[in-house]
Amino acid sequence: MLLLDDETHGDAPPADPAFLSDVLAGLAQSPKAIPARWFYDHRGSELFEQITDLPEYYPTRVETGLLERHSPEVGEIAGAGRAVVEFGSGSSVKTPHLLRAIAPSAYVPIDISGDFLRESAAGLGQAFPGLPIFPVEANFMQTVALPAEIADAPKLGFFPGSTIGNLVPRSAVDLLRGMIETLGLGAMLLIGMDRVKSENVLVPAYDDAAGVTAEFNLNLLRRINRELGADVPVDLFRHQARWNDLWARIEMHLVASADLSFTIAGRRFAMQAGDTIHTENSHKYDPRSARALLAAGGWTPIREWPDADGMFSLFLAEA
User: Applying CB under 6 A, which residues contact ligand AVJ?
Assistant: 51, 59, 161-163, 165-166, 206, 213, 280, 282
Closer CB to ligand AVJ, 73 or 286, in the complex: 286
Closer CB to ligand AVJ, 182 or 282, in the complex: 282
Closer CB to ligand AVJ, 113 or 213, in the complex: 213
- What SS3 string covers 194-255? ECCCCHHHHHHHCCCCCCHHHHHHHHHHHHHHHHHCCCCCHHHEEEEEEEECCCCEEEEEEE
What's the closest the beta carbon of residue 158 comes to ligand AVJ, in angstroms?
14
What's the closest the beta carbon of residue 165 comes to ligand AVJ, in angstroms?
5
Closer CB to ligand AVJ, 226 or 283, in the complex: 283
Closer CB to ligand AVJ, 75 or 95, in the complex: 95
CA-closest candidate to residue 87, choices 181, 2, 152, 217: 181
What's the closest the beta carbon of residue 90 comes to ligand AVJ, in angstroms?
8
Q: At what angle do helices 95-102 and 58-78 cross, to 10 degrees?
A: 20
The span from the CA of 237 to the CA of 258, in Å, is 8
Beta-bridge partner residues of 210: none
What's the closest the beta carbon of residue 164 comes to ligand AVJ, in angstroms?
8
Contact 83, 150 (CB under 8 A): yes
What's the closest the beta carbon of residue 5 comes to ligand AVJ, in angstroms?
34
What's the closest the beta carbon of residue 208 comes to ligand AVJ, in angstroms?
9
Query: Can you list the positions of beta strands (E) in the chain?
Result: 32-33, 83-87, 106-111, 136-137, 155-159, 188-194, 237-244, 249-256, 260-264, 267-271, 276-283, 300-306, 312-318
Closer CB to ligand AVJ, 160 or 297, in the complex: 160
3-state SS, residue 160? coil
